[in-house]
Structure 1
Amino acid sequence: MLIQTPPLISEPSATTELRDIFASIDAFSCPHRLNFHLHTVHSDGKMQPIDLIQQAISQPLSDLAITDHHAIAGYYIAKEYLDHFAAQSHYPQSLPNLWTGIEINASLIFTEVHILGYSFDPEHEAMQPYVQSKTTAGLDYQAISVIKSIHLAGGLAVLAHPARYRRSPEDLIPAAAALGIDGVETYYGYDNSDPWKPSPKQTEEIRQIADTYGLLHTCGTDSHGFKISRRL
């Protein structure tokens, strides 16, 4: 097995904590304990951020991220609500951890892919081209720039749903690994099943490739509807 080279940029302790969470993920982690791919009305989802975080509290999830496309407003709204809820709660330690998240369009070996960013500083100047509610262009659109920007902002970069693109995971994952990506969204439901579950064939294929390059595994429902536990 090849071991991924550690990032050259000093990693914040919170990001190291999230890295450890990703390292523990398996096929049963989502959607009842973790969910690292969720959308709100601030991109192409149907849920209000407060509705989403209320579901996360009720479920309850231990960790989640709102990953709106090129937008961070949903995170701020959900975080404010969660902080207020925690201040009123007798058991704030039992509430979910909400991580910063985003989904960014990028070009990887001449193929448009989506790169998920986690645990980054949303105010960092490196992230500003990617939080304007629109796809970037030029150098900013290149996967190497997206990955570098997420790292500069202290975060982790993950290749979303690797089996949904024009080129295969066998092509895309090694190319992303060569650019320093941290992980891949290994556990993903490509058939939109209800209840949600990761697609076995694609999961096994992607897991093996990711392991070859020492990459982390993540999971998420990619929810765009009114339930965080399923995609649509």
Structure 2
Amino acid sequence: MLELHCHTTHSDGTLTPTELVSAALAAGVKVLAITDHDTLSGWNEAITAAKPYDIEIVPGLELSTVHNGRSLHLLGFYPNRDRLQPPLQERIAGRFRRAQKMVDRLADLGYPVELSMRGTMVPGRPHIANALVKAGYIQSPQEAFDRWLGEGKPAYVEYEKFSVFEGIKLLRDCTAVPVWAHPYLFCGGQVETLLPDFVAAGLMGLEVYHPSHTIAQTQTLEALCQQYGLLKTGGSDYHGPALGKTDDRHTELNHLHLSTELLTPLKQASIGLSQ
């Protein structure tokens, strides 16, 4: 079974890469992608942890971009680390700036919190939500998103401007296969309308299989992949237990039961980019 969208404590997951590999092993996962937000730092630990077991680690990331003023995420698989690491530093710095602005807004609203970051962790809204819980202002991270951190709420801060077109180009320039993550979670336009421009810019795949997609949406994405000659990927978007996201879509590992056959065309596409 295959998981092509998972997060660790190097971004907003709750399991270390080693713990994630152990959880994947227990769930019967054979292929596991590490796709932390805007960072590659969790790969080495995951690869080391997976060596004794029959688990293949797919190196990747989830890149934060903006389109029509809304957050749009791109998955990038098999990037050239040496090429991608330097430009990613600015994206990571932007995440820290964004987090600090949200913390400052919360303080202005009368809810000061301390955001402590460990090692290579890249900050996100779940970290701030958990800090609000720890400070005793609310009972659950969900409440933080409902009151302050969700889009349009008083403490929300948009991502710094980095367009989806810039993101696609960056990934391809670094030999990473660019895939639109959970397309139907995007709130800035209709998938069918936006897709032609993204494909023209070099998008190579769609995350067809995702817990947030309905059966009808999945079928539409499958048809779009057929129409445009795009790769199909999927995964649970696993963040580990007790995450504190804004919904319950981050479910258990391997619950989608995706075939490892999805990996072959992804690898072939990666080889094509590197040649």
TM-score, normalized by length of structure 1?
A: 0.70
Distance 2:72 2:38 in 1: 13
Instruction: Give the equivalent residue in structure 1 for 2:253.
Output: 228
Question: Residue 42 of structure 1 contacts residue 73 of structure 1 at CA under 8 Å; is this kept in 2?
Answer: yes
1:15-36 Cα offsets, whole Å, 9 max, x none, are: xxxxxxxxxxxxxxxxxx0010
Which protein is bigger by CA-based radius of gyration?
2
Instruction: Give the equivalent residue in structure 2 for 1:182.
Output: 204
Question: Residue 184 of structure 1 contacts residue 217 of structure 1 at CA under 8 Å; is this kept in 2?
Answer: yes
Instruction: Give the equivalent residue in structure 2 for 1:41.
Output: 9
Query: Aligned-pair distance for 1:160?
Result: 0.4
Distance 1:158 1:123 in 2: 20
Query: Aligned-pair distance for 1:230?
Result: 5.8
Please point out which of 165, 188, 202 is paired with 2:186: 165
Distance 2:174 2:55 in 1: 23
Instruction: Give the equivalent residue in structure 2 for 1:154.
Output: 175
1:145-168 Cα offsets, whole Å, 9 max, x none, are: 221221222220000001011112
Question: Residue 50 of structure 2 contacts residue 56 of structure 2 at CA under 8 Å; is this kept in 1?
Answer: no
Query: Aligned-pair distance for 1:80?
Result: 2.1
In structure 2, the CA distance between the partners of 1:65 and 1:150, relative to structure 1 (3 Å rule), is same
Q: What amino acid sits opposite 2:171 in the alignment? A: I
Distance 1:222 1:163 in 2: 14
Question: Identity, % of aligned pairs?
Answer: 28
Instruction: Give the equivalent residue in structure 2 for 1:115.
Output: 74
Query: Aligned-pair distance for 1:97?
Result: 1.2
Distance 1:215 1:127 in 2: 26
Distance 1:113 1:36 in 2: 18
SS at match of 2:8: coil
Q: Is 1:128–2:150 an aligned residue pair?
A: no
- Written as runs of structure 1 = structure 2, the 5 A alignment for 1:48-59 is 48-59=16-27
Distance 1:137 1:44 in 2: 18
In structure 2, the CA distance between the partners of 1:127 and 1:152, relative to structure 1 (3 Å rule), is farther
Instruction: Give the equivalent residue in structure 2 for 1:30.
Output: none
Distance 2:183 2:6 in 1: 17
SS at match of 1:73: coil
Q: What amino acid sits opposite 1:168 in the alignment? A: Q
- Written as runs of structure 1 = structure 2, the 5 A alignment for 1:189-200 is 189-190=211-212, 199-200=214-215
Distance 2:85 2:75 in 1: 12
In terms of fraction of residues, the more helix-rich structure is: 2
1:50-85 Cα offsets, whole Å, 9 max, x none, are: 1111122333322121111111222221112223x2
Please point out which of 223, 227, 231 is paired with 1:216: 231
Query: Aligned-pair distance for 1:110?
Result: 4.8
Question: Residue 187 of structure 1 contacts residue 199 of structure 1 at CA under 8 Å; is this kept in 2?
Answer: no
Instruction: Give the equivalent residue in structure 1 for 2:45.
Output: 77
Question: Residue 205 of structure 2 contacts residue 233 of structure 2 at CA under 8 Å; is this kept in 1?
Answer: yes
1:178-206 Cα offsets, whole Å, 9 max, x none, are: 1111100011111xxxxxxx631110122
How many correspondences in the alignment? Answer: 180
Distance 1:179 1:144 in 2: 6
CA RMSD of aligned residues (A): 2.2
SS at match of 2:225: helix
Any stretches of 5+ residues in structure 1 without a counterpart?
A: 1-32, 87-94, 191-197
SS at match of 1:99: strand
Question: Residue 27 of structure 2 contacts residue 253 of structure 2 at CA under 8 Å; is this kept in 1?
Answer: no
Any stretches of 5+ residues in structure 2 without a counterpart?
A: 96-158, 242-251, 257-275
Distance 1:173 1:37 in 2: 21
Instruction: Give the equivalent residue in structure 1 for 2:165.
Output: 144
